Amino acid sequence: MGSSLAWHLAALGSTEVTVIDFDLEGTLSSSELNAGGVRATFQQPLNIQASKVSIDFFSKHREEFGYRDCGYLWLVSKDAQEGFRKAMQVQLAEGWEVQDWDLGQLRKKAPFIDKTDDLVGACFAPKDGLINPNLLKNYYRARAREKGVRFLDRTQLVGAEYQASSKGWKLKFRTFPKVLSGAFKEEVLTSSPNQAIGQVGAITEFTAKRVVNAAGAWAKQVAKILGYDCPSVAVRRHVCVFDSRDVDLSPYGMTVDPSGVYFHPEASNGMAGIASPDDPEGYSFQYPGEDFFTEKIWPALYERSSGFEKLKHLTGWAGLYENSPDHSAIIGEVQGVGILPGSLYDCHSFSGHGVMHSYSVGLGLAEKMAKGKYLTLDLQPFSRDRFLSGNLIPEGAVI
Ligand SMILES: Cc1cc2nc3c(=O)[nH]c(=O)nc-3n(C[C@H](O)[C@H](O)[C@H](O)COP(=O)(O)OP(=O)(O)OC[C@H]3O[C@@H](n4cnc5c(N)ncnc54)[C@H](O)[C@@H]3O)c2cc1C
């Protein structure tokens, strides 16, 4: 998010834009550990619009981002049918193609799904798809650098003071040596930024007129440092890669099962995940290993296809979702915390769909910051003020 926003800000003429990150390589950042799905099959019009603008951009750079419009196939159980029909009406009204398949169509188009007793059909969105999030992130960064954006690595925000006299921020960072082990990165990113830790280098200070909190799952910590409250929580999520042996998944895109398990092709294998209610809130990257696959993923796949009766867990990992209370992002100016207008912005809490919103939101927020108003998309409803006014954007199509 930070890289996309910085590129767009610089492209709109902002100077002296700096992206500051504890770990730009992003070994543990969500932009590194996600499933690469991009879709506009949401329930809320604004979430659909934010994805549409992004996917339109991705489709113009297919090769550069490894974008494939291979579709999202949402399998529909009887009790979820009405909800899907409603959501499809909203998606169609927003100009996003979705097809309402009955069981016969589902069997024809995805014959490997041969255990369908609990299903009434499927919702298929042909323009949803998959992307390589690393290529996307590097694209944003390359474009940003071309426009003069500075990137500061191994630099962690630990303190901030708003100085009314100079109408700006004095920010305090701790810096780290060039080579950091994975274990050390994990130690830093699972503890509080003020906790004493080994390997810390110099403390540096910067001044800035405007600050954007784009710290993903760490937005709550960063908000606290900047003197305001963020209502979101970090939640651990796992994904695994499996050898799908008897089923060639390569012709398909993302499939979402009513159980909550989602899967898609990953090179010659399959990748699967689930937003399990048992996943703990907080900062943890512990992956339970094969047990996750055998207990949470395989039973649902086994019940869906006879081709999934023989599968083999290969690997997996844990990353962090950044869940807001209504599962829509928090974007826009932070006001009412004793600072001058235009000094602080939110751009976080994407609740598991930040890759697909990264282009549109980076562009939209940059327009607001550089031009004074939202132009491409009106992102105002995503403002944190909604948690006070009660104008929530409850998004139910989350996985
Ligand atoms: C398992 C999993 C599957 C997912 N699947 C999808 C998917 O299919 N499609 C999709 O669109 N999204 C998906 N997501 C969500 C998506 O990955 C995120 O919404 C998105 O990457 C968020 O980007 P970000 O830039 O806000 O956060 P991040 O990429 O996490 O970046 C935040 C950065 O802040 C830095 N930081 C934190 N604290 C500080 C500090 N004090 N000082 C300096 N730097 C700091 C961190 O080092 C980190 O690099 C998934 C996420 C996970 C975990």
CA 31–ligand 1 middle distance (angstroms): 4
Token pair belonging to 100: 């309402």
Atom nearest to 214 CA in ligand 1: 26
pLDDT of residue 196: 76
Atom nearest to 215 CA in ligand 1: 34
* Bridge partners (DSSP) listed for residue 101: 122
pLDDT of residue 197: 79
Nearest-10 Cα torsion for 41, 11, 9, 214: 50
Helix (H, G, I), strand (E, B) or coil at 17: coil
Confidence (pTM): 0.97
DSSP string, 201-253: --EEEEEES-EEE--GGGHHHHHHHHTS----EEEEEEEEEEE-TT---TT--
Q: Which residues line ligand 1 (CB under 6 A)?
A: 1-2, 20-23, 26, 29-31, 33-37, 156-157, 193, 214-218, 222, 237, 239, 273, 319-321, 348, 350, 352-356
Nearest-CA residue for ligand 1 atom 24 is: 216
57 membership: H or E segment, kind and range: helix 45-59
pLDDT of residue 369: 98
Nearest-CA residue for ligand 1 atom 8 is: 37
212 neighbors 5 (Cβ within 8 angstroms): yes
CA 107–ligand 1 middle distance (angstroms): 36
CA 26–ligand 1 middle distance (angstroms): 9
Nearest-CA residue for ligand 1 atom 4 is: 34
> DSSP class of residue 296?
I
Atom nearest to 31 CA in ligand 1: 21
Query: 86 Cβ partners below 8 Å, 6+ apart?
Result: 43
Q: 3.40.50.1100, 3.30.420.10, 3.50.50.60, 1.10.3720.10: which CATH number matches 2-33+133-232+325-389?
A: 3.50.50.60
pLDDT of residue 379: 98
Atom nearest to 155 CA in ligand 1: 43
CA 346–ligand 1 middle distance (angstroms): 14
pLDDT of residue 199: 73
CA 321–ligand 1 middle distance (angstroms): 7
CA 200–ligand 1 middle distance (angstroms): 23
Nearest-CA residue for ligand 1 atom 20 is: 354
Nearest-CA residue for ligand 1 atom 26 is: 216
CA 265–ligand 1 middle distance (angstroms): 22
CA 247–ligand 1 middle distance (angstroms): 31
User: What is the rounded distance in angstroms from the CA atom of residue 305 to the CA atom of residue 255?
Assistant: 12
Atom nearest to 317 CA in ligand 1: 1
CA 154–ligand 1 middle distance (angstroms): 16
Residue spans of the domains in the chain: they are 2-33+133-232+325-389
Token pair belonging to 16: 């002296």
| pLDDT in 10s for each residue of the chain, 399 residues | 999 999 999 999 999 999 999 999 999 999 999 999 999 999 999 999 999 999 999 999 999 999 999 999 999 999 999 999 999 999 999 999 999 999 999 999 999 999 999 999 999 999 999 999 999 999 999 999 999 999 999 999 999 999 988 889 999 999 998 899 999 999 999 999 888 777 777 899 999 999 999 999 999 999 999 999 999 999 999 999 999 989 999 999 999 999 999 999 998 999 999 998 888 899 999 999 999 999 999 999 999 999 999 999 999 999 999 999 999 999 999 998 999 999 999 999 999 999 999 999 999 999 999 999 999 999 999 999 999 999 999 999 999
